[in-house]
Amino acid sequence: MTIDERYKYLRKMRTRYQEADRKERGRLLDEMEAVTGLHRKSLIRLLKGPLTRRPRARQRSRTYKEEVTAVLRVAAASLDYPCAERLTPNLVWLAEHLADHGELTVSESTLQQLAQISVSTVERRLSTIRQDQPNRKRKAPPTPRRALRDIPMGRIPWDESEAGHFEADLVHHCGPSASGQYVHTLQLVDVATGWTERQAILGRSYLVMKDAFLAILERIPFTVQEVHPDNGSEFFNDHMRRFWKEKAKDVHLSRSRPYHKNDNPYVEQRNSNPVRDYLVQLDKSQTLDYHDGFAPVVSAPAITT
């Protein structure tokens, strides 16, 4: 409890103390003594006074001179600016070590002050030292890709009641290495109805993405009003922009914010169960078939839910 908080508490308790009888005052003093940590006589004296902080009659001079600040500046820089709690116990031996190697000059009185300086004082001096350092220039924000400049960011409302607003994502089936060509699953999930569509593609080129979207758009039994993928280059490039303008003119295109997976929650949830878990079970069934001496029989996954 700070001094200001203590005075504020006592100002609230003074009215109750003045209106109470002798027995009640004793109980209130016990309570105030437990809360503030002050002695009963001190509490009685304070309750009779104005309960305001009086200015100091004589300002205290600085105990630690500029020689201590100079040692702190060199010591903090030599240890790559640790916190005050770690720097304070090591000031004496570190100052002697730096003086032996000619990094600074330290006197006996300065060493005595370094031995008795508190952590809070070191923290205040370090904050002053940090202010003296020149600020590093911040890097300019990255220039957004041309294909993303006029695509609105955001998320489809969770309470969307009209069908046709689809979240889209591309699931990679590359295993531990992402090099070379491998299979992907393009998945679309409607926010209002939960209708899902999936299409397997090889690679992420414009041709396979275009064919996958055309196949999915033909299978959906209602009008597609919006497609909302992430910021991947497979979704947003000059070829795909031309595809959406020519082949799907009435479809509104939006995107999620970078590094915000929660902007596509429905399709992100469906990536694990209908896609990844299915392939894991399919791989296990193939292994069992081979062990039994039969060729694996793989049935095509259901396209819609």
Q: What is the pLDDT of residues 229-258, one digit of tens each?
A: 999 999 999 899 899 888 878 899 999 998
Is it the case that residue 303 has pLDDT exceeding 50? no
pLDDT, tens digit (0-9, with 9 covering 90-100), for 204-231: 999 999 999 999 999 999 999 999 999 9
Question: For residue 199, what pLDDT band results from cuts at 50, 70 and 90?
Answer: very high
Q: How far apart are CA 162 and CA 225, in angstroms?
A: 9
CA angle 83–86–87, rounded 5-degree value: 80
**Where are the alpha helices (H) located in the chain, listed in sequence order?**
3-19, 22-36, 40-48, 66-78, 84-87, 91-100, 108-116, 119-132, 206-219, 238-246, 265-270, 278-291
Q: Hey, what amino acid is at 55?
A: P
Is 274's pLDDT higher than 50?
yes
pLDDT for 287: 53
| Residue 278 predicted with pLDDT over 90 | no
User: Tokens 């820089």 map to which residue?
Assistant: 77
Q: How big is the chain, counted in residues?
A: 305
- At residue 142, the pLDDT reads 72
Q: Is the pLDDT of residue 67 over 80?
A: yes
Question: Mean pLDDT throughout 96-110?
Answer: 92
pLDDT of res. 292: 41
Q: Please report which confidence band the pLDDT of residue 176 belongs to, taking 50, 70 and 90 as the band edges.
A: confident
CATH 3.30.420.10 range(s) for the chain read 147-290
**Residues 110, 184: Cα–Cα separation, whole Å:** 68
Mean per-residue pLDDT for 21-27? 94
Question: What pLDDT is attached to residue 8?
Answer: 93
pLDDT score, position 146: 81
Bin 259: left if φ > 0, else alpha if -120 < ψ < 50, else beta: left
Give CA–CA dist 168/240, Å, rounded: 14
> Is the pTM for the entire model greater than 0.75?
no
Is 176 in contact with 235 (CB distance < 8 Å)? no
The reported pLDDT for the residue numbered 293 is 39
Comparing 109-123, 181-195, 219-233, 259-273, the range with the smallest average pLDDT is: 259-273
pLDDT for position 286: 61
Averaged confidence pLDDT in the chain: 86
On the question of pLDDT at 288 being above 50, the answer is no
- Mean pLDDT lowest among 88-102, 210-224, 264-278: 264-278
Compare 209 and 141 and report the one with higher pLDDT: 209
Comparing C-alpha atoms, which of 130, 191, 184 is closest to residue 159?
Answer: 191
CATH fold for domain 147-290 = Nucleotidyltransferase; domain 5 (3.30.420)
- What percent of the chain is modeled with pLDDT above 70? 91
